[in-house]
Amino acid sequence: MKDLSRPKILGVIPARLDSKRLPGKILRPVLGVPMLVYVYTRAGRSELLDDLIVATESEEVFRFCSQNGLKVLMTSRHPSGTDRIHEVMGKVPADVYVNIQGDEPMITPDQLRLMLQPFFEDPSVQVTTLKTPITTGEALDPNNVKVVTDKAGKALYFSRFPIPYDRDDTGRIPYFKHIGLYAYTRQALDWFHARPPSMLEQAERLEQLRFLENGMPIHVVETPDNTIGVDTERDFTLVEQYFQANPL
């Protein structure tokens, strides 16, 4: 029986084909299986999601999902995944919406559990996301988005630049990679959508900065499970190697 005291949670996979860095990647086969299927299958193993759908503007993605048993919703074009989920919110009711990136095939149910836990513990929470420890060398890669938080776990800033800067070159500065998964309340999605893209968001090409620049806190939960968001050919090769050792 469903626990009526907890929020209804909808997982949404915003999926578009025209990625600038690696076009068509979400339907590109990983060991013979399109990457989108990995994301959908692994996210679907979470017991906390009441439902899971793909949201797309692409006829090709919509047709693929329809033919292969993936729940899918056609949307209009949007500048960000968060804006796309806002459209979904107007069509599919829920209390909390989870933004599951279509290029994160290594997502785990435990990551989703950690990210959703703050909503069960604190009714004031509006937005959550994840971070994981990385090395100094990994922090230098602009494809790895870094996050710095305060002592309560709220985000201070996200950047493609290695933050914090190790001015004295101590080698002892901890770095955390932001894993691009989010969970939002309905109110947070409305709040985000009502505001134009912010200066910091446009400079870094990081939509989560719209929340911070306008004063909306983001709760960041640490996970030991790193993932590879597929942005480059090297990422794609590493993901294939991972799934050779860890079949879907």
Amino acid, res. 217: P
Residues in the chain: 248
Residue 63 has pLDDT above 50, yes or no: yes
Average pLDDT estimate for 138-156: 95
Average pLDDT, the chain: 94
CATH of region 9-243: 3.90.550.10
- Sorting pLDDT into bands at 50, 70 and 90, what band is 248? confident
H-helix or E-strand spanning residue 63: helix 59-67
pLDDT band at 1 (very low <50, low <70, confident <90, very high): very low
What is the residue extent of each domain of the chain?
9-243
The H or E element spanning position 10 is strand 9-15
Q: Give this prediction's pTM.
A: 0.93
Residue 15 burial class via C-beta count within 10 angstroms: exposed 0-12, middle 13-18, buried 19 and up: buried
77-113 pLDDT per residue, tens: 988 889 999 999 999 999 999 999 999 999 999 999 9
Q: How far apart are alpha carbons 195 and 191 in whole angstroms? A: 7
Q: Residue 156 is inside which H or E element, if any?
A: strand 155-159
Q: Which residues contact 55 (CB under 8 A, 6 or more apart)?
A: 12, 13, 14, 15, 72, 73, 75, 84, 85, 87, 88
Tens of pLDDT, residue by residue over 112-130, are 999 999 999 999 999 999 9
Structure tokens at 103: 């290029």
